[in-house]
A and B are shown apart, each in its own frame.
Chain A
Amino acid sequence: MKKNLAFAIAFTALGCGTAAMAQDDFSAELKARQGQFRIMAINLGILGGMAQGKMDYNADAAQAAADTLVAVSMIQQGPMWPAGSDNMALDSTRAQPNIWDANDDFLSKWSDFGTAAQAIQAAAAGGVEGLGPVMGQVGGTCKACHDTYRAPAN
């Protein structure tokens, strides 16, 4: 009985402790959402490198990069952005609290990225000349969101 009680207390304490820790650092969510942006940057780098002539154009590689951007755009964002995981509460993020104040606008800007990614997907294999304009379009959606919702780097 005593043993069971002690176990129950320990279990509760452990449970609470874990919950409190998760609430404090959100490290899993931050890794996930920052990772998706890194995947975007790597694949934009492939397309941008071809558009700038820094690397040879290759239709298959361009298509794979564009397909990846579309895949990222389909990841549901909600679970990666828990309330309180902003740059006022945490040092390891540049996400500003207005993401949660104006969440509909934030999510609509994310969906604009998806639209631009589909434009890249449609253009990627059609030759290097087509990449510049759609890169501009996708870049516009990055900036539109970062303009409002991301703090400058430290």
Chain B
Amino acid sequence: MQRGLIPGVLVLAVAAAAVGVFVTRATPIDSSPLAGRDSDPAKGETVFIASGCASCHAAPDAEGDAKLILAGGQRFPSDFGTFIAPNISPDPEAGIGAWTLGDFASAVKKGVSPDGQHYYPAFPYGSYLHMDDQDVVDLWAYWQTLPRDATPSQPHEVGFPFNIRRSVGVWKLLYLKDDWAVQIADTPELERGQYLVEALAHCGECHTPRDALGGMNRANWLGGAPNPTGRGMIPSLRPADLTWGPTEIVYYLETGFTPDFDSAGGHMVAVIENFAKLPASDREAVAAYLKALP
């Protein structure tokens, strides 16, 4: 009897492992919905700015137009190790110039690399997965206009067990969600605000607290979180905590001045630099969404 049980358990374990291997594999996106679309690099630039690509992927001390050189090198400390932004300039060797549109969409919306690896979620594909297909197409068209850079990407400084990229597959099963974080009224302005906050500008990545495994805790959406770089808090944006009026939020996103004329600091400076370049209606949409949070 016991003899029979052990192989049975073994078979089950192997089967479970096989299922585990299957469900945690990195599969590319179905790129057929992207095929044959017209692309508009000018619209892609807006997506690029709203998504803050350059804020993380420009070289560490880049200023002005140098921020369009996506050479990588900025360091992002976390509880799981330090991630170093890679070169994603259109250079075919050091960057992503040799990628197809499908490769790009898989990376941005699924966190899957062309060679079938999971990216770490320091890359906010958990937010970008909401990106419209047309926006992905336009963004990729804009990408081709960016300068190339030959700086090699540096490896992340991530120790065991987080250096096992397969484990990111489990993380994705737990935390990647196709639906929006909150239900709000579906006016065009609120929809735009939701798209900006939850998808492109990926505000939740810093403003929403994370659980022990590093997933965003949607029950406390935008409720504020410890700063991963060390001291200080990323503030809550929930209506009960953020008491600024809509015009004050809009002015902050344009100029960086708080209602009492303190100024933004840290990574929020880069966020405001981006928002200031977007149409005023986008800043107003963000304010409307924040005020409409349940």
- Chain A positions within 8 Å of B, measured between CB atoms, are 37, 40-42, 44-45, 48, 52, 87, 94, 135-136, 139-140, 142-144, 146-147, 150-154
Contacts and interface: CB of A to CB of B under 8 A. Distances in A.
A144 B270 CA distance: 9
Contact of A147 (B235, B260, B270): B270
Given A139-B255, A143-B272, A151-B232, 19 more contacts: A40-B261, A45-B261, A48-B257, A87-B231, A140-B256, A142-B256, A142-B257, A143-B273, A146-B264, A147-B266, A147-B270, A150-B266, A151-B230, A152-B233, A152-B234, A152-B235, A152-B265, A153-B235, A154-B231
B23 to A, nearest CB: 38
B158 interface: no
B292 to A, nearest CB: 23
Contacts of B260: 41, 45
A142 B251 CA distance: 15
Contact of A143 (B227, B230, B264): B264
B265 A147 contact: yes
Interface of B: 227, 230-235, 247, 251, 255-257, 260-266, 269-270, 272-273
A99 to B, nearest CB: 13
B255 A136 contact: yes
B231 A146 contact: no
A150 B263 CA distance: 10
B232 A153 contact: yes
Contacts of A52: 247, 251
B29 to A, nearest CB: 35
Q: Looking at A40, A41, A42, which has the most chain B CB atoms within 10 Å of its CB? A: A41
A139 B234 CA distance: 21
Given A150-B266, A152-B227, A135 B233 contact: no
Contacts of B256: 139-140, 142-143
A144 B230 CA distance: 20
A42 B233 contact: no
Nearest to B230: A151
Contacts of B264: 143, 146
Given A139-B257, A143-B256, A147-B269, A152 B263 contact: no
A146 B263 contact: yes
A115 B266 CA distance: 22
B270 A152 contact: no
A13 B230 CA distance: 38
Of all A-B residue pairs in the complex, the 4 with the closest CB atoms, nearest first, are A146-B265, A152-B232, A142-B263, A147-B269
A152 B261 contact: no
A144 B235 CA distance: 20
Given A41-B261, A146-B269, A135 B255 contact: yes
Nearest to A136: B255
Contacts of B257: 44, 48, 135, 139, 142
Nearest to A46: B261
B261 A44 contact: yes
A153 B233 contact: yes
B265 A154 contact: no
A147 B251 CA distance: 18
A143 B269 contact: yes
Contacts of A40: 261
A143 B261 contact: no
B262 A41 contact: yes
